[in-house]
Amino acid sequence: MADDIKVDRTIDIRGQVCPYTFVRSKLAIEKMNTGEVLEIILDHRAAVENVPKSMENEGQKVLLVEQTGEKEWRIVVRKDKEKKK
């Protein structure tokens, strides 16, 4: 299932901790067009829960959260909403 998601942009924020993981993810998705997909690579366990929750609170669609290594995760988010001006 994960292989048929077309990713438009990837950010690697391994080594970052909350709240920077969400801030970096939010800044990246704000630069994208509605419908585009952002892949986030991270290694901070708390961020695996916080980033998807925060993205959904911002109106984005979390497509996938998967563990890809012992201490590494991949979060895939589709931009569903433009930031209100």
pLDDT of residue 35: 97
How confident is the model over 27-65, as pLDDT tens digits?
999 999 999 999 999 999 999 999 999 999 999 999 999
Residue of 11, 18, 41, 62 marked catalytic:
18
Structure tokens at 84: 């209100």
Active-site residue flag, 19 = no
Q: What is the crossing angle of helices 20-30 and 45-57, to 10°?
A: 40
Q: Does pLDDT of 12 surpass 90?
A: yes
Percentage of the chain lying above the pLDDT 90 cut: 88
Tell me the whole-structure pTM to 2 decimals: 0.92
